[in-house]
């Protein structure tokens, strides 16, 4: 399982063994505002006992707008974790055409792209072993 950002844990303390259908029913009747649910059972793959951990992985989103853009873009990495990301703009032939800066999580920044030629680029945000990429179109 790939892990990224903050994790939230829910302990099930029902006092009984829970089979997979019980877990599915529990999840279907639970509202989770953010993230993806991953069920884990390290002891027995056929049933889950009290104290079982359900992990909600932090979902990370990259926003680039407007797209297509002409002179400026607003970019942001949306996540529940507080981390900084390096960013760069890459041409389709793989060349870095706009060197990176630091992008703080959950803060949108405006970037001047008026020096880029019309065309299609990739906006990439990276941290450690994780990368997010969005297509960016420049049109004037």
88 and 130 fall within a common domain: yes
Digit-coded pLDDT (tens) for 60-92: 788 899 999 999 999 988 877 778 888 999 999
Q: What is the pTM of this model?
A: 0.58
Q: Which residues contact 30 (CB under 8 A, 6 or more apart)?
A: none
Query: Is residue 107 assigned to a domain?
Result: yes
53 and 65 part of one domain: no
Which CATH number belongs to the domain containing residue 129 in this structure?
2.60.40.1930
Residue 20: phi and psi, rounded to 5, are: -55, -35
Task: Give the pLDDT score at 76.
Answer: 87
Residue 106 and residue 130 share a domain? yes
Q: Is the pLDDT of residue 121 over 80?
A: yes
Please state the domain count of the chain.
2
Is residue 73 domain-shared with residue 20, that is, in the same domain?
no
Evaluate whether residue 1 is within a structural domain: no
pLDDT in tens, 96-111: 998 877 888 778 889 9
Structural domain of 52: 7-57
């Amino acid at each position: 399982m790939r892990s990224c950002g903050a994790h939230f844990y829910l302990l099930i303390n029902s006092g009984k063994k829970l089979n997979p259908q019980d877990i599915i029913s529990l999840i279907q009747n639970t509202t989770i505002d953010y993230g993806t649910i991953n069920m884990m059972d390290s002891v027995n793959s056929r049933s889950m006992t009290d104290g079982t951990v359900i992990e909600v992985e932090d979902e990370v989103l990259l926003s680039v707008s407007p797209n297509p853009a002409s002179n400026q873009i607003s970019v942001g990495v949306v996540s529940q974790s507080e981390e900084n990301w390096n960013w760069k703009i890459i041409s389709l032939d793989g060349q870095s055409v706009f060197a990176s800066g630091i992008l703080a999580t959950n803060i949108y920044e405006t970037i001047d792209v008026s020096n880029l030629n019309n065309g299609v680029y990739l906006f990439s945000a990276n941290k450690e072993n994780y990368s997010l990429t969005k297509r960016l179109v420049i049109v004037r």
